[in-house]
Amino acid sequence: MNILVAEDQSMLRDALCQLLELQEAIERVFPAKNGLEAQAILQKEQVDVAILDIEMPKMTGLDVLEWVKEAFPSQKVIMVTTFKRPGYFERAIRADVDAYVLKERSISELMRTIERVLQGQKEYSPELMESFFTMKNPLTKQEQLLLQKVALGLSNQEIADQMYLSNGTVRNYMSTILSKLGAENRTEATNIAKENGWL
């Protein structure tokens, strides 16, 4: 089988590729150092399973997952992460990820996951399931949109203009967001939302 490994940390990527190449069942391993490279390989090569890191430059693993499931719905995708962020997990599930697992696993465990995925099964790390069920996103779609604009550095007035709201309404939204996230200010609210994968 052919495997794609998309990982921006070169040492980790090289080690994983070498370990996978030693596996009898694997014929070829395609390395990619960012999401755009992964996308190009998936368009050009016959890949049985794509193993994607989440946080990568140019295009995240989640972006690649959403794109590939739209373009090639039968493509098998395994997300690997060190982050137990419920927002990331939620987005991956919505995009029909085949497996979502933590990086701290042995190559034999990863091979078992690959085999399960190829048999049409789904697999999610129990630790990720736990964080997903204990930490639901408290923000509404409108609040998320507003906070995204805060993250871009826009003022309340600029946000009000872009979202066709009054300045007072934006202020009300902001106070609700701060209260929901237990944040002192806009910057802290943005950081909390990003850390949980809600932005």
In this structure, the answer to whether residues 118 and 97 fall within a common structural domain is yes
Q: Which two tokens stand for residue 100?
A: 């979502």
Is this structure's pTM higher than 0.75? no
What are the tens digits of pLDDT across the range 81-92?
A: 887 677 788 889
In this structure, the answer to whether residues 70 and 168 fall within a common structural domain is no
From 80, 106, 133, give the residue that closes a domain: 133
In this structure, the answer to whether residues 33 and 114 fall within a common structural domain is yes
Q: Which two tokens stand for residue 57?
A: 């430059």
In this structure, the answer to whether residues 116 and 172 fall within a common structural domain is no
Dist CA 128 CA 101 (whole Å): 8
In this structure, the answer to whether residues 16 and 102 fall within a common structural domain is yes
Looking up residue 87, the CATH number of its domain turns out to be: 3.40.50.2300
Secondary element (H or E) of residue 140: none
Domain count along the chain: 2
In this structure, the answer to whether residues 27 and 115 fall within a common structural domain is yes
Average pLDDT, the chain: 90
What percentage of the chain has pLDDT greater than the value 90?
72
In this structure, the answer to whether residues 45 and 124 fall within a common structural domain is yes
Please indicate whether residue 125 or residue 101 has the higher confidence score (pLDDT): 101
Predicted confidence band at 129 (pLDDT cuts at 50, 70, 90)?
Answer: low
From 112, 133, 154, give the residue that closes a domain: 133
Find the mean pLDDT for residues 79-102: 86
In this structure, the answer to whether residues 150 and 94 fall within a common structural domain is no
In this structure, the answer to whether residues 37 and 6 fall within a common structural domain is yes
Containing structural domain, residue 80: 2-133
From 109, 133, 157, give the residue that closes a domain: 133
> Rounded to the nearest 5°, which phi and psi values hold at 59?
-165, 125
Looking up residue 159, the CATH number of its domain turns out to be: 1.10.10.10
Predicted confidence band at 69 (pLDDT cuts at 50, 70, 90)?
Answer: very high
Dist CA 80 CA 110 (whole Å): 10
In this structure, the answer to whether residues 38 and 59 fall within a common structural domain is yes
What are the tens digits of pLDDT across the range 8-56?
A: 999 999 999 999 999 999 999 999 999 999 999 999 999 999 999 998 9
What are the tens digits of pLDDT across the range 161-174?
A: 999 999 999 999 99
In this structure, the answer to whether residues 13 and 71 fall within a common structural domain is yes
**pLDDT for the residue numbered 82:** 82
Predicted confidence band at 131 (pLDDT cuts at 50, 70, 90)?
Answer: low
In this structure, the answer to whether residues 94 and 150 fall within a common structural domain is no
Dist CA 42 CA 34 (whole Å): 13
Give the residue from 58, 112, 111, 61 showing the smallest Cα distance to 82: 61
